[in-house]
Amino acid sequence: MKKKKADYTHLSANQPIGIFDSGVGGLTVAKEIKRLLPNEDLIYFGDTKHLPYGEKSREAIVGYCTKITEFLLEKNCKAIVIACNSATANALQEVQELVADRVPVIDVINPVAEKVSYEIHNNVGVIATKATVNSGLYKKSIRKHNKFIKVDELATPLLVPAIEEGFKNHPITHSIIYNYLSNSKLKNIETLILGCTHYPLLIDEIKQYYGNRVRVIDSPNIVASQLKIILDKHNLLNEENHQSTYQFFLSDITKNFEKISKKFFGKSIDLELKVL
Ligand code: DGL
Protein backbone atom coordinates (compact mmCIF):
# COMPACT_ATOMS: atom_id res chain seq x y z
CA MET A 1 0.00 0.00 0.00
CA LYS A 2 1.31 3.49 -0.86
CA LYS A 3 2.17 5.64 2.19
CA LYS A 4 -0.14 8.62 2.66
CA LYS A 5 1.57 11.94 1.94
CA ALA A 6 2.27 13.81 5.20
CA ASP A 7 0.16 16.91 5.73
CA TYR A 8 1.85 19.65 7.76
CA THR A 9 -0.74 22.41 7.29
CA HIS A 10 -1.27 22.56 11.08
CA LEU A 11 2.31 23.82 11.50
CA SER A 12 3.45 27.39 11.11
CA ALA A 13 6.73 28.79 9.81
CA ASN A 14 7.60 30.67 12.99
CA GLN A 15 7.81 27.56 15.18
CA PRO A 16 11.35 26.52 16.18
CA ILE A 17 13.40 23.62 14.77
CA GLY A 18 14.42 20.91 17.25
CA ILE A 19 17.88 19.35 16.93
CA PHE A 20 19.48 16.66 19.06
CA ASP A 21 22.63 14.66 19.59
CA SER A 22 24.45 12.96 22.45
CA GLY A 23 26.77 15.95 22.88
CA VAL A 24 28.72 18.52 20.89
CA GLY A 25 28.55 16.61 17.57
CA GLY A 26 25.11 17.88 16.61
CA LEU A 27 26.45 21.42 16.97
CA THR A 28 28.23 20.91 13.63
CA VAL A 29 24.80 20.37 12.06
CA ALA A 30 23.14 23.15 14.09
CA LYS A 31 25.85 25.60 13.01
CA GLU A 32 25.23 24.76 9.35
CA ILE A 33 21.45 25.13 9.83
CA LYS A 34 22.03 28.55 11.40
CA ARG A 35 24.22 29.57 8.44
CA LEU A 36 21.80 28.32 5.79
CA LEU A 37 18.57 29.31 7.57
CA PRO A 38 19.43 32.44 9.59
CA ASN A 39 15.77 33.32 10.31
CA GLU A 40 15.02 30.06 12.11
CA ASP A 41 14.74 29.69 15.88
CA LEU A 42 16.56 26.58 17.10
CA ILE A 43 16.18 24.37 20.17
CA TYR A 44 19.11 22.02 20.75
CA PHE A 45 19.17 19.07 23.12
CA GLY A 46 22.57 17.55 23.98
CA ASP A 47 22.30 14.31 25.92
CA THR A 48 25.73 14.70 27.52
CA LYS A 49 24.75 12.58 30.50
CA HIS A 50 24.34 9.51 28.29
CA LEU A 51 27.17 9.93 25.82
CA PRO A 52 28.78 8.19 24.03
CA TYR A 53 25.71 6.77 22.28
CA GLY A 54 28.10 4.83 20.06
CA GLU A 55 28.87 2.44 22.91
CA LYS A 56 25.24 1.90 23.99
CA SER A 57 22.77 -0.83 23.13
CA ARG A 58 20.04 -0.20 20.55
CA GLU A 59 17.39 -0.36 23.31
CA ALA A 60 19.17 2.30 25.37
CA ILE A 61 19.58 4.60 22.34
CA VAL A 62 15.89 4.18 21.40
CA GLY A 63 14.93 5.09 24.99
CA TYR A 64 17.01 8.29 25.00
CA CYS A 65 15.89 9.38 21.53
CA THR A 66 12.17 8.91 22.12
CA LYS A 67 12.31 10.96 25.35
CA ILE A 68 14.21 13.76 23.63
CA THR A 69 11.78 13.73 20.71
CA GLU A 70 8.81 14.03 23.10
CA PHE A 71 10.55 16.96 24.78
CA LEU A 72 11.14 18.74 21.45
CA LEU A 73 7.52 18.17 20.40
CA GLU A 74 6.36 19.66 23.73
CA LYS A 75 8.56 22.65 22.90
CA ASN A 76 6.42 23.10 19.78
CA CYS A 77 9.11 22.29 17.21
CA LYS A 78 8.00 22.25 13.56
CA ALA A 79 10.72 19.76 12.56
CA ILE A 80 13.04 17.35 14.34
CA VAL A 81 16.63 16.94 13.18
CA ILE A 82 18.32 13.81 14.51
CA ALA A 83 21.83 15.29 14.37
CA CYS A 84 23.43 12.03 15.40
CA ASN A 85 24.40 9.03 13.28
CA SER A 86 24.27 6.54 16.16
CA ALA A 87 20.73 7.72 16.96
CA THR A 88 19.71 7.61 13.29
CA ALA A 89 21.17 4.13 12.80
CA ASN A 90 19.38 2.70 15.84
CA ALA A 91 16.28 4.76 16.53
CA LEU A 92 15.12 6.49 13.33
CA GLN A 93 12.13 4.21 12.89
CA GLU A 94 11.03 4.56 16.53
CA VAL A 95 11.36 8.35 16.38
CA GLN A 96 9.33 8.42 13.15
CA GLU A 97 6.65 6.20 14.68
CA LEU A 98 6.43 8.42 17.76
CA VAL A 99 6.22 11.58 15.66
CA ALA A 100 3.60 9.92 13.44
CA ASP A 101 3.84 12.56 10.69
CA ARG A 102 3.02 15.43 13.06
CA VAL A 103 6.29 17.12 12.00
CA PRO A 104 9.01 16.22 9.47
CA VAL A 105 11.95 14.20 10.80
CA ILE A 106 15.35 14.75 9.16
CA ASP A 107 18.17 12.31 9.83
CA VAL A 108 21.89 12.48 9.12
CA ILE A 109 22.44 9.24 7.18
CA ASN A 110 19.84 8.98 4.41
CA PRO A 111 20.42 12.41 2.77
CA VAL A 112 24.20 11.83 2.79
CA ALA A 113 23.91 8.27 1.45
CA GLU A 114 21.59 9.44 -1.32
CA LYS A 115 23.85 12.29 -2.41
CA VAL A 116 26.96 10.11 -2.33
CA SER A 117 25.30 7.35 -4.32
CA TYR A 118 24.48 9.78 -7.15
CA GLU A 119 27.68 11.82 -7.15
CA ILE A 120 30.42 9.36 -6.28
CA HIS A 121 31.54 6.53 -8.52
CA ASN A 122 34.45 5.14 -6.58
CA ASN A 123 35.27 3.35 -3.33
CA VAL A 124 33.68 4.93 -0.30
CA GLY A 125 34.88 4.63 3.28
CA VAL A 126 32.77 5.43 6.32
CA ILE A 127 34.19 6.09 9.76
CA ALA A 128 31.64 6.08 12.56
CA THR A 129 30.82 4.86 16.07
CA LYS A 130 30.33 1.16 16.82
CA ALA A 131 26.57 1.66 17.10
CA THR A 132 26.47 3.11 13.57
CA VAL A 133 28.86 0.63 11.94
CA ASN A 134 27.11 -2.36 13.54
CA SER A 135 23.79 -1.25 12.05
CA GLY A 136 25.26 -1.32 8.51
CA LEU A 137 22.88 1.52 7.60
CA TYR A 138 25.35 3.52 5.50
CA LYS A 139 26.11 0.56 3.27
CA LYS A 140 22.42 -0.35 2.98
CA SER A 141 21.32 3.20 2.17
CA ILE A 142 24.07 3.81 -0.38
CA ARG A 143 23.55 0.43 -2.07
CA LYS A 144 19.81 1.03 -2.24
CA HIS A 145 20.50 3.82 -4.75
CA ASN A 146 23.68 2.50 -6.36
CA LYS A 147 24.63 -1.16 -6.21
CA PHE A 148 28.05 -0.60 -7.79
CA ILE A 149 29.64 1.47 -5.05
CA LYS A 150 31.98 -0.40 -2.74
CA VAL A 151 31.45 0.74 0.84
CA ASP A 152 33.88 -0.04 3.67
CA GLU A 153 32.88 0.93 7.19
CA LEU A 154 35.26 1.23 10.12
CA ALA A 155 34.35 1.83 13.76
CA THR A 156 36.51 4.61 15.22
CA PRO A 157 35.22 4.80 18.80
CA LEU A 158 38.07 6.74 20.44
CA LEU A 159 37.39 9.89 18.44
CA VAL A 160 34.20 10.92 20.31
CA PRO A 161 35.77 10.89 23.80
CA ALA A 162 38.79 12.78 22.43
CA ILE A 163 36.51 15.43 20.90
CA GLU A 164 34.33 15.66 24.03
CA GLU A 165 37.57 16.18 26.02
CA GLY A 166 38.39 19.09 23.72
CA PHE A 167 41.52 17.38 22.34
CA LYS A 168 41.59 19.25 19.03
CA ASN A 169 45.08 19.74 17.57
CA HIS A 170 46.37 17.42 20.23
CA PRO A 171 49.04 14.72 19.80
CA ILE A 172 46.70 12.08 21.28
CA THR A 173 44.04 12.87 18.67
CA HIS A 174 46.62 12.87 15.88
CA SER A 175 47.81 9.44 16.82
CA ILE A 176 44.22 8.10 17.08
CA ILE A 177 43.47 9.51 13.61
CA TYR A 178 46.65 8.01 12.16
CA ASN A 179 45.91 4.62 13.69
CA TYR A 180 42.37 4.46 12.38
CA LEU A 181 42.88 5.94 8.92
CA SER A 182 45.85 3.70 8.17
CA ASN A 183 43.65 0.63 8.74
CA SER A 184 43.77 -1.70 5.73
CA LYS A 185 39.96 -1.54 5.42
CA LEU A 186 40.31 2.05 4.22
CA LYS A 187 43.30 1.42 1.99
CA ASN A 188 41.61 1.85 -1.39
CA ILE A 189 39.03 4.51 -0.65
CA GLU A 190 38.72 7.68 -2.71
CA THR A 191 35.89 9.22 -0.69
CA LEU A 192 35.43 9.34 3.07
CA ILE A 193 32.15 9.95 4.87
CA LEU A 194 32.49 11.26 8.41
CA GLY A 195 29.67 9.08 9.76
CA CYS A 196 29.53 10.76 13.14
CA THR A 197 28.51 14.36 13.64
CA HIS A 198 31.35 14.84 16.12
CA TYR A 199 34.01 14.19 13.47
CA PRO A 200 33.67 17.43 11.44
CA LEU A 201 35.21 19.05 14.52
CA LEU A 202 38.42 17.26 13.43
CA ILE A 203 37.97 17.73 9.69
CA ASP A 204 41.20 19.71 9.26
CA GLU A 205 43.26 16.99 10.92
CA ILE A 206 41.52 14.29 8.87
CA LYS A 207 42.05 16.17 5.59
CA GLN A 208 45.67 16.74 6.55
CA TYR A 209 46.19 13.00 6.87
CA TYR A 210 44.97 12.40 3.31
CA GLY A 211 46.27 15.48 1.53
CA ASN A 212 44.32 15.64 -1.76
CA ARG A 213 44.07 11.87 -2.19
CA VAL A 214 40.61 11.42 -0.66
CA ARG A 215 37.48 13.55 -0.85
CA VAL A 216 36.03 14.11 2.64
CA ILE A 217 32.26 14.57 2.63
CA ASP A 218 30.74 17.54 4.46
CA SER A 219 27.64 15.92 5.99
CA PRO A 220 26.33 18.87 8.07
CA ASN A 221 25.94 20.93 4.90
CA ILE A 222 24.04 18.12 3.14
CA VAL A 223 21.71 17.67 6.14
CA ALA A 224 21.03 21.41 6.50
CA SER A 225 20.26 21.64 2.76
CA GLN A 226 17.86 18.70 3.02
CA LEU A 227 16.09 20.40 5.95
CA LYS A 228 15.76 23.57 3.87
CA ILE A 229 14.27 21.65 0.93
CA ILE A 230 11.70 19.93 3.17
CA LEU A 231 10.66 23.10 5.01
CA ASP A 232 10.39 24.95 1.72
CA LYS A 233 8.29 22.21 0.17
CA HIS A 234 5.75 22.52 3.00
CA ASN A 235 5.83 26.34 3.19
CA LEU A 236 7.47 26.14 6.60
CA LEU A 237 10.53 28.32 6.00
CA ASN A 238 10.60 31.28 8.34
CA GLU A 239 10.94 34.27 6.01
CA GLU A 240 10.50 36.79 8.80
CA ASN A 241 13.67 38.82 9.32
CA HIS A 242 13.97 38.81 13.09
CA GLN A 243 16.51 38.20 15.85
CA SER A 244 16.58 34.38 15.86
CA THR A 245 16.68 32.61 19.21
CA TYR A 246 18.93 29.67 20.09
CA GLN A 247 18.07 27.57 23.12
CA PHE A 248 20.30 24.83 24.48
CA PHE A 249 19.24 22.07 26.86
CA LEU A 250 21.77 19.60 28.22
CA SER A 251 21.35 16.56 30.45
CA ASP A 252 24.77 17.43 31.94
CA ILE A 253 26.51 20.77 31.46
CA THR A 254 30.09 20.26 30.31
CA LYS A 255 32.89 22.79 29.83
CA ASN A 256 33.58 21.60 26.28
CA PHE A 257 29.93 21.98 25.25
CA GLU A 258 29.96 25.48 26.67
CA LYS A 259 33.12 26.34 24.74
CA ILE A 260 32.01 24.99 21.35
CA SER A 261 28.40 26.21 21.56
CA LYS A 262 29.59 29.74 22.44
CA LYS A 263 32.12 29.62 19.61
CA PHE A 264 29.40 28.68 17.10
CA PHE A 265 26.45 30.68 18.50
CA GLY A 266 27.98 33.61 20.38
CA LYS A 267 28.90 34.25 24.00
CA SER A 268 25.43 35.38 25.09
CA ILE A 269 23.72 31.96 24.80
CA ASP A 270 22.60 30.13 27.94
CA LEU A 271 22.82 26.43 28.62
CA GLU A 272 19.96 24.97 30.60
CA LEU A 273 20.20 21.72 32.55
CA LYS A 274 17.39 19.31 31.62
CA VAL A 275 17.42 15.69 32.69
CA LEU A 276 14.80 13.62 30.90
N1 DGL B 1 27.53 12.42 17.31
C2 DGL B 1 27.09 11.10 17.37
C3 DGL B 1 27.04 10.39 16.06
O4 DGL B 1 26.86 11.04 15.06
C5 DGL B 1 27.21 10.30 18.61
C6 DGL B 1 28.55 10.06 19.17
C7 DGL B 1 28.41 9.25 20.45
O8 DGL B 1 27.73 9.74 21.37
O9 DGL B 1 28.98 8.16 20.48
O10 DGL B 1 27.12 9.18 15.99
The answer to whether the 17-107+221-273 and 110-219 domains have the same CATH topology is: yes
- The whole-angstrom separation of Cα 244 and Cα 101 is 26
Residues taking part in catalysis = 84, 196
Q: How far is CA 235 from the centre of its chain?
A: 24
Per residue in 2-43, pLDDT (tens digit) is: 566 789 999 999 999 999 999 999 999 999 999 999 999 999
Binding residue per annotation — 54? yes
Is 184 assigned to a binding site? Answer: no
- pLDDT category, 1, cuts 50, 70, 90? low
- Point out the ligand 1 atom lying closest to the alpha carbon of residue 50: 8
The per-residue pLDDT for range 78-134, each reduced to its tens digit, is: 999 999 999 999 999 999 999 999 999 999 999 999 999 999 878 999 999 999 999
- Sorted by sequence, the CB contacts under 8 Å of residue 141 that are 6+ apart come out as 109, 110, 113, 114, 117
Domain map of the chain by residue range? 17-107+221-273, 110-219
Q: How would CATH label the architecture of 110-219?
A: 3-Layer(aba) Sandwich (3.40)
CA 46 / ligand 1 centre spacing (Å): 11
Q: What percent of the chain has pLDDT over 90?
A: 92
90 is in an annotated binding site: no
Confidence at residue 6, expressed as pLDDT on a 0 to 100 scale:
85
CATH of 17-107+221-273, picked from 3.40.50.1860, 3.40.50.1100, 3.40.50.2000, 3.30.70.1140, is: 3.40.50.1860
Q: What integer best gives the mean pLDDT of the chain?
A: 95
Pocket residues: Cβ below 6 A from ligand 1: 21-23, 25, 51-54, 84-86, 129, 132, 160, 196-198
